[in-house]
Structures are given as C-alpha cells and as structure tokens.
Structure 1
Amino acid sequence: MRLTTVARMELAAGQVHVFEPTVASTPGEGTGGSTPSFDQSRHAAAGSRPGSWMAVAFAVPPVGRGRLAEAWRRVVQRHGTLRSVLRHDGAQARVHPVEVTGGRWVRAGDGVSDPRTVLRGVFDAACEPFGSPSHRLAVVDHGDGTCTAVIGLDHSHTDAWSLLVLVRDMLAALEHEDELAPVPSFAEHTRALEDLPPAPDEIRARWTRVMETRDGEMPVFPLSLGDISEPRDEVVEVIDVLDAEGVARLEDVAARRGVRLLPLAVSVLTQVNRDMHAGALCAVFPVHSRRGPADDPARWADSVGWFITNSVLECDSTEPLDCDAAVRDAIALGAYPLEPLLRPWGGMPNTPGMFAVSWLDNRRLPVQVPSAARPQHVSAWIRTDGVMAWFVLNDDGMHLRVRYPGTPSAVANVGEWARRVATGLRAVSSDDTVLVGEDHDLSPVA
C-alpha cells in the first residue's frame, strides 16, 4: 500500500491526543553540533514558522495510548534523525543530538472541532525547524472505536519516502515488542556527502550554464502568475489523471518508444508548453540522494531524513528519446552535493515564481505498508509565490498535484496548464501513434 494523495486530508471526527515528548542533551555531546545538509540550511534560514512540516495519517488498532507511546519510543530509538534537533549557532544552524527521555499524552481540541484543524495548529507550533524535538505523534480516537495515528515532522527531518518508513516501523513496533534495529541517521548521510570528491568539471560547467542563463535565478513557471511580490495563500489541486489500467497502457506506449514512463511524461509537458506558447520545458527537478556506497547501495533505504537534492530539467523536444536524455542529464546534474556547486551564486536562490516538477512513483519504493493502514500524506497550509507540480503514481493510478499562489492569473494559467497535461497524458495512453516517458533512480520528493 502506498501514500494516498488528496487535496486535503480526509479524517473522520474524533478526539485528538498528542504525545508531548521530553528531551535532554546527549551525555558527552559537545556544544558544537554538526553541519546541517544544504537543504536543511536553506530551510532553517527562513526561521521558525508555521507550515514547514509534513505528516502522514494511518489507521492503527485501538490498543490504548500507553502502547502507542511505547511503540513510538522504539521507533524514535531506531532513527537517530528523530533524536536530533536544529539549534541556532549565531547566524548558522547546527544539528545536535538529543535523548528523548519520556513524555505524556495531552488532549488537544474539544473533540467536536475538525481534527484536521486541531492537528494543523499542533504541528504549526511544534513541528517547526527549531523544535526540540520537531516531531509529534498524535492519535485521533473516533466515535466508532477506530483510531488514526498522525505523525508530523518539520521538513528538515523528513521526506515522502521517510513518511512511509515511519508508518511501516510504527506498525511493526505495535505488532512486536522487540526493539527495532537502529539504522543510519540523516546526519551521517550529510557527513558522507561532505567526504565525496568534488564534482567533475563537466558538471560544474553545466551548473554554471544553467545559472548564468537565468542571471543566477532558478527556473520560473513560464506563464504569468500575477502579482507575487509577496507570497499568496496557496491553491492546491489534485487531478486524477489515469487509473491503474491507464497507467499500464501508458507504460506500454513508453516501452514501445524505448523509454521509461517519466521521459514520456516529459514529452507531454514539453508539448503543452509549446501549445501554450510557453517556450521549452525548464523546471527545478528534485531527485533523491539515498544511493549508498558501492559496497552498501541500500544503506539509506530504511532511514528517515530529507534525502533530496535539486537539479534542473531542461527539454525542448517532444521526441521521447530526447526527453530520456534530458532526464538522464538532470539526474547527473543532481548526483553531486549542491553547496559547492551553487556557492558562486550564494547558494540556491529563492526565486519568486520558481517552478518545480517532482516525479514520485510509490509503486517502486522498497517500503511496504499493509493496505489496512490506508496511509495518507498530509500537507501543511502555506503561503507561496512559486509553482510545484507532483506526479504521483500509486497502485490506483496516476495523480497530478499542483500548488500555486492564489492569484487570478495563477489560477487561470497554472490550472489550464495542469488540465492540458492531464489531457495529454490520457491521449497518449489511448493512442500510441501520438509522440509525446521514470528512471529507477528517481524517488519521492516533498
């Protein structure tokens, strides 16, 4: 079972209880901490704020809150990432290990208010970059005797893959009383990246071209978003593009074209841009960084953290094989630590109107969750000045989720772009004469 993607969480009424943990400094831990990752540093630089979290909701057996707390304790002990916090160190943020020493259940809300609203308030306050810790376990007790667990974390400590890992581990801890084996932490991953050799000259030259072409800015959505001089209330749309049979047909078309599913989809995106007189496709393209060393390629597969790096996807052709080459170029561009590559431009700029395209094929993740758990991705409500498009593939089909600023121009232009993309993908899935492709290395992004 994979994460469900909806515009807003579907959660029945009920009383919310939140496990409020207590923490202490790790014995023997120095005061300096460790360097955060490139993305953690950018995330923390925006400061404490609501809406910086991600969460996952899933069904749990009505076992009592004491047992839930004990299961959560073992999950926290398994993941060093859940025992780390970001702290201010002058102008910089540092990662410090902590010990979660206990906690208590606290009633949240009145049991009548919408639990989604209650949880949003809890996570906005607790799951922020400098929370200590910046995660919370909550449970919603429904009137029919069923229970829903919701785990929220500040984005600095998680990505979509990690959410499924937490669901799987929490259910395993509820089923068995044994301690869960520890896994490498995200802080170890950050240190491992620091030890990598510099990126090849070819990659540096390509990043230089990408940045200088746009005067040091990131790619932006190619149509007007209206007045985005300041972030606007978000609009989120989820389009059910294809059912499972439709995705299978699309995969057949891609195979006949000699590509995977993602390059075929890129072909559609490029065609839509042409049809809307929006130029070539150019977007920030997140890819995962969970590739382990040659002797342990799955080293980070069971870890929790923000295992994401950013690349740029550029394509001006609708030929699937050309699109496949563009995807491979983007993956290569994101295969090296970004901080030294983007240092000449002061890091990754926060460009108003920034456009990002994410590809998440949940079917290919090495994380299995029982279907009875009905895992559901929960997004925070934010204000934004950019456009994010997520293509999400589950066992039930393909979904396109788009988030953009709520201006009239953005509603019109992004909405039309998304509808045309969905229509194009459906057309290709039903007519293999239309030339309009996923790479097994691509994994979820937030």
Structure 2
Amino acid sequence: MRVTAIDQVELTGTLTELSVTWVGAPARRGLPVGFNQGNHLRAQRSGRGAWLAGTVTLPDAHPDPSRVAGAVARLLGEHDALRASFTVSVVPTQDVFDATQLQVRPRVVGRVWHGFVESLLTQRCRAGDVPGVFFGILDDTVICAFDHAHADAITIDLVLRRLCEYYIDPTTPRRPTLSYADRCLTDAAAASSPNRCDDADSTRLMQVWHDFFALTEGAVPAFPLRLGAGRAPQRTVVVPLLDDSECTDLLPDSSFATILSALAAAVADVGGPERLATLIPIHTRGPRTSGWHSTAGWLVSNAPVVVNAGDPNSATTWLRHASELAGLPLDHVLTQCRPHLPTEDIFMVSYLDYRKFGPALPGAQHISAVTSTDTAQFWFTRSDSGLELRVRHPARPVADHVIAGLLTALHGRLREPRPVALPAP
C-alpha cells in the first residue's frame, strides 16, 4: 500500500462510475456518531471537509462492470458504516440504510482527466449528502472513496481487499463483521453513565494523560519548528525512507519506537528541542480475534508519546500504554485534562504496517484529499517495499525549507547503525 494524496497521483483514463443509490427512507434514524466523526462533521460546517480514497488494480485489463458492481453491492451490504448518511450540525447524527435498499449500477462516463476525477470525488464524498461514497473503474483500476466520516485508513485497505476478493471469486465466503452503528450507540450510552471511567484501570490510564500534559504545560503539543502563522493550503510530500532490506537491517521489532526516536533526533538536528511530544493514532479494533478487524468504520483513538532524541527506549515507555489507552474515551480525557489547543489541526505521527493485513495488493494506494492546514502531520508506512513517509504541512516557503531540512536529517538518523548486543559474560 502506498499512502499518498490526490496531488501526488495521476487518475486519468476511461471511467465507469458504479453509481450508488438508496431506495426509500433510512431504516435507522437519528443515531449518535463516534467522537472522531463528530469532530469531523462539525469541522465540515466551516468548510473543512475531507475524504479518503483507495485504488487497486484488477487482474483483467478490461474489468467487467457488472461484476465490479456486484462486488460493490456485496461490500456495502456487509458494512453499515458505508451505508450511513450524516447530519452536519453542532450535534451530528447518522441515519443508516438497510442493505436491501441498495442499488449499484454501472454508468459509463468516458475518457476523463485527473482534475475531473478529483472534482468528482469531492462532489460525491460529502458527509451531508447521500450516499457520500464513490466507486468507479478507471481502465483496469477500481477507485473507492468515502467522506472521512465513513472510514479510517484500515477501512480503505479492508475495502480494497474485499473488492478484489469478491470480483475474482463472487462465492468468497463472508467474513464476520460487527455493526459500527451499534458500537456508536453503545459508546454514547457509556458516555452518559455517571460512573464512566471510575474503575481503577481507567484512573491509572488517565494518570498517563495527566503526566503527559504536565510535561507539555497543559497543551496538546504543537509541531516544534516554525512553519509560519495560521492556515495555508496543504503541501504533500511523499518520500521513500528505507527499502525492505534496509528495514531488516536497521529497524528492530520495536519499529515505531525507533522511528519516533529518529524523528525526534532529526527535529533536534534542525534546531528543535531535544525532546519531542506528540500524539499518535491508535486503532480501537481490539485484538486480532475481534470481529472489528473485519469491520469498516472510523475506529481510531489517540495516545500520547514523549520521546528523547535518539532514544527508542523513551518512546517504548509511552508506547507500552497505547493499546490500553484505546479504551479510554477521548472526550473523557479532554473533560478531565482540559488541554489548550495551540493549532486547529493536531500535530501527530502515525505508523501503520500494511504487511499485517495480508499479501500486497497490486497497485494499491491510499489517497487523501488535499485541503489546508496549520501544522505538520506525519504518516510512516511499512510495506513489502520498505518504509515510506507522507508529510502534510502548510504550503509556504518557510515550511517548505523546514520540512526539507528535517527529511534530510531523518534520512541520516534512520541509517545510523544499531547498537550490537554483547553476549552475557
């Protein structure tokens, strides 16, 4: 999987849209949304919407549109998160259509250019519209796209895999999935409980957040290098960092800790502090045996990390809490800690190892929309080809210069020899 953005790819060719429509009124109405969905939908009220897309190459040079439509219909029927429509308001809600209300029909569009495809994705994938999703065939490639309220990064990989499986063999058995809408209901009920998070484990985990904000002086940490003031159009940078053999030699089992410590050292190399505080996304799908691993939706929380430059052990100390913190509701954290937000967007560092999801998919890409930002965000991804990085930052000269210098330093830091463990005497 290559993680990129719409300004870094070329989507040109002969397009057939798999037009998705719903018949009748939604089967379930006025359901609550998840925490991330709520923030996203409120941001969309001020014009800051965003979509996620994916592409995968099918084995046929000229895919059968009817078979692709059948694969899309089956996929949508299995995942209620992809059948939702949303109210974009101060208190967002979702309505969910039943699988029996679904229609998917091929519609030949013809020869198209990249700008048309980008505009079409933006037009189709708006949370307040129905269906808020897009599927199409561009030459031998399937494109899927969703308003972010429908999906997270793992959902994109899941959707591409299922579409390939169902296209190649329509008799592929269904994998067990759970209802994302029901999970939102359960989480909302828990949020209203007066005894929520009163247990000993929650108290212990909340202390991790209190310790973090004590180190950051009560603020969600900002990117520590100067990028200029205020929002600006987004610049996307996608760079390979290590090939697969270099990853084997230079990245230990604790890859993310090593990456974080190298990033912290690179920040210090270009004039930043010796200690880097940030947030990391963590999935909330639970153990691999959980049905959530085969379920589409926005199943992500955040965890805090403070890492000393060049010291993976300092990152490991914080990462040890990450999986546990996935169960601590972020709205509860914000209520208890009341941190200051120095920027509208959150400085964060993500790491996702796509090898864990199955064999590499041909031509697989995760493509994000290009919007605006006031900070820097980093997505590290591991695949069979090695380690890559996507950076999103404000498109202004000072930020371009800072990020270019940071990436040069990061390349060097990642290639520093690992210490060799000596045998015990």
* Cα displacement (A) at 1:424: 0.8
Q: 2-side partners of 1:26 and 1:353: how far apart? A: 36
Alignment of 1:131-150 (within 5 A): 131-141=129-139, 147-150=140-143
Cα–Cα, structure 1 residues 79 and 368, in superposed 2: closer, same or farther, change >3 Å?
farther
1:269 equivalent to 2:233? Answer no
Q: 2-side partners of 1:434 and 1:221: how far apart? A: 33
2:166 is matched with which residue: 156, 169, 173?
173
* C-alpha contact 1:339 1:347 (8 A) present in aligned 2: no
Equivalent residue for 2:332?
340
Helix, strand or coil for the counterpart of 2:87? strand
1:42 equivalent to 2:39? Answer yes
Alignment of 1:93-242 (within 5 A): 93-99=92-98, 100-108=101-109, 111=111, 113-114=112-113, 116-141=114-139, 147-178=140-171, 180=174, 183-194=177-188, 195=190, 198=197, 200-211=202-213, 214=216, 217-228=219-230, 231-242=231-242
Equivalent residue for 2:18?
19
Query: CA-atom RMSD, angstroms?
Result: 2.8
Helix, strand or coil for the counterpart of 2:298? coil
* Cα displacement (A) at 1:323: 2.6
Equivalent residue for 1:432?
418
TM-score (norm 1): 0.82
Helix, strand or coil for the counterpart of 1:377? strand
Q: 1:200-242 CA deviation, whole Å, 9 max, x = no partner?
A: 22322332444466565421110111122xx211111122111
Helix, strand or coil for the counterpart of 1:156? helix
Equivalent residue for 2:379?
390
Q: 2-side partners of 1:183 and 1:132: how far apart? A: 23
Q: 1-side partners of 2:2 and 2:312: how far apart? A: 29
Q: 1:397-427 CA deviation, whole Å, 9 max, x = no partner?
A: 111211100112111112211221122102x
* Cα displacement (A) at 1:319: 3.1
Q: 2-side partners of 1:123 and 1:215: how far apart? A: 41
Q: 2-side partners of 1:234 and 1:434: how far apart? A: 41
1:362 equivalent to 2:364? Answer no
Equivalent residue for 1:300?
292
* C-alpha contact 1:226 1:410 (8 A) present in aligned 2: yes
Cα–Cα, structure 1 residues 22 and 187, in superposed 2: closer, same or farther, change >3 Å?
same
Q: 1-side partners of 2:338 and 2:276: how far apart? A: 25
TM-score (norm 2): 0.86
* Cα displacement (A) at 1:318: 3.2
**Structure 2 stretches lacking a partner, 5+ long:** none
1:73 equivalent to 2:73? Answer yes
* C-alpha contact 2:276 2:308 (8 A) present in aligned 1: yes
Cα–Cα, structure 1 residues 346 and 133, in superposed 2: closer, same or farther, change >3 Å?
farther
Cα–Cα, structure 1 residues 126 and 350, in superposed 2: closer, same or farther, change >3 Å?
farther
Partner letter of residue 360 of structure 1?
L
* Cα displacement (A) at 1:13: 3.4
Q: 1-side partners of 2:102 and 2:69: how far apart? A: 12
* Cα displacement (A) at 1:395: 0.3
Q: 1-side partners of 2:222 and 2:166: how far apart? A: 44
Runs of 4+ in 1 over 6 A off after TM superposition: 345-348
Q: 1-side partners of 2:324 and 2:388: how far apart? A: 26
* C-alpha contact 2:305 2:315 (8 A) present in aligned 1: no
1:402 is matched with which residue: 391, 407, 411?
391
Q: 2-side partners of 1:6 and 1:19: how far apart? A: 23
Q: 1:36-62 CA deviation, whole Å, 9 max, x = no partner?
A: 111000000012647610101111222
* C-alpha contact 1:52 1:129 (8 A) present in aligned 2: no
Partner letter of residue 432 of structure 1?
R
Cα–Cα, structure 1 residues 418 and 245, in superposed 2: closer, same or farther, change >3 Å?
same
Helix, strand or coil for the counterpart of 2:282? strand
1:55 is matched with which residue: 53, 56, 60?
53
Partner letter of residue 343 of structure 2?
T
Equivalent residue for 1:328?
320
**Structure 1 stretches lacking a partner, 5+ long:** 142-146, 436-446
* C-alpha contact 1:51 1:124 (8 A) present in aligned 2: no
1:281 is matched with which residue: 273, 276, 282?
276
Partner letter of residue 285 of structure 1?
I
Count of residues in Structure 1 that have an aligned counterpart in Structure 2: 405
Helix, strand or coil for the counterpart of 1:200? helix
Helix, strand or coil for the counterpart of 2:81? helix
Partner letter of residue 274 of structure 1?
A
* C-alpha contact 1:312 1:333 (8 A) present in aligned 2: no
Partner letter of residue 86 of structure 2?
L
Helix, strand or coil for the counterpart of 1:390? strand
Q: 2-side partners of 1:182 and 1:342: how far apart? A: 34
Q: 1-side partners of 2:207 and 2:13: how far apart? A: 56
* Cα displacement (A) at 1:187: 2.2
